[in-house]
Structure 1
Amino acid sequence: MENSKITRKNPVDMYSPVGKYTHITKIPRNSELYVASGQIGVDQNGELPDDMNEQIKNTFDNIQAVLQSEELTAEHIIKVNIWATQKIDWYYLNTEWEKLFGQNYPAMTIGYLSELGLPEIRIEVEIWAARV
């Protein structure tokens, strides 16, 4: 039944997404909603590397850990917000993105800011997820 799963689509009357996302993600009624704090590029030892791509890799590892803690997968992610303080290496980020999502992209917003919670944080990624 279509109403019993998370669906993602791009309306036919709209432009195609300019990145690896869908325009709309719908969650069915009575789903459990999970909102995670923004994940940053801290490694398992609590160290924050200076390199942006290392922070991106660690951030995606941390997202996986958050998902696994609730027995969720990337299929459950309905929305992603990405905040960065410097230009993102999109080739590298997309590689990590596809490892997580394959070709089943959630809704997404990207913003560049002058600073995040600490000056050494270069990227923060927030996820919203739902379990049907």
Structure 2
Amino acid sequence: MREAAMLKAHNPPAMFAPVGPYCHGLEVVQPTRFLFSSGTMGLDREGHAPDGIEAQLETAWDNLKAILAEAGMTVGNIVKVTTFLADRSLRGPATAYRQAVLGDHKPAVTTMVAGLLQDDWLVEIEIVAAA
């Protein structure tokens, strides 16, 4: 695995502190490569969405980790996470799961409530990673 790119967090004192486990801006200082994922749903290998937000979050993050691994990266290489949720009530579980996956790593984050393409899809996540 390649090491993460050199990153520098930016949380300017002239603005509000981050209200969660993220930074306002994350500068990629010396990357050699970037990886952009497509929106990744919590779908298993057969394309089925398991029941419930926890199962879909686990599957979505497992899918993202597989993409990162194929590129020789880990979650420590993630510089941006965008999460699309089917309902605002899913924000708490999605934030908690992301924090559990990322640990102390705090990339830039955006979370939106959106109509997803299928009714049984509860979450879609896309990432940008750098190495």
TM-score range, shorter chain: 0.7 to 0.9
- What is the Cα-based RMSD across aligned positions, in Å? 1.8
Q: Which residue of 2 aligns with 1:118?
A: 118
Q: Which residue of 2 aligns with 1:129?
A: 129
Which 4+ runs in 1 deviate beyond 4 A?
A: none
Unaligned runs of 5+ in 1: none
Alpha-carbon distance in 2 for matches of 1:7, 1:75? 13
**Secondary structure of the residue that 2:68 maps to in structure 1?**
helix
Residues 56-115 of structure 1, C-alpha deviations (whole Å, 9 max, x = no match): 11111111111111111122111111101112151x3344223321112100111101x2
| TM-score, normalised relative to structure 1 | 0.84
Q: Which 10-residue stretch deviates more, 34-43 or 6-15?
A: 6-15
Q: Which residue of 2 aligns with 1:17?
A: 18
Q: Which 10-residue stretch deviates more, 59-68 or 6-15?
A: 6-15
Q: CA deviation at 1:125?
A: 0.5
Q: Which residue of 2 aligns with 1:7?
A: 8
Corresponding pairs, count: 126
Task: Work out whether residues 41 and 60 of structure 2, in 8 Å CA contact, stay in contact via their aligned partners in 1.
Answer: yes
Q: Which residues in structure 2 correspond to 1:28-67 (within 5 Å)? A: 28=29, 31-67=32-68
| TM-score, normalised relative to structure 2 | 0.85
Q: Is residue 102 of structure 2 the alignment partner of residue 105 of structure 1? A: no
Alpha-carbon distance in 1 for matches of 2:129, 2:31? 13
Q: Identity rate of aligned residues, in percent?
A: 27
Specify whether residues 25 and 54 from structure 1 end up closer, same or farther in structure 2 by C-alpha distance, changes over 3 A only.
same
**Secondary structure of the residue that 1:126 maps to in structure 2?**
strand
Unaligned runs of 5+ in 2: none
Q: Which residue of 2 aligns with 1:82?
A: 83
What letter is aligned with 1:50? D
Task: Work out whether residues 79 and 129 of structure 1, in 8 Å CA contact, stay in contact via their aligned partners in 2.
Answer: yes
Specify whether residues 72 and 123 from structure 1 end up closer, same or farther in structure 2 by C-alpha distance, changes over 3 A only.
same
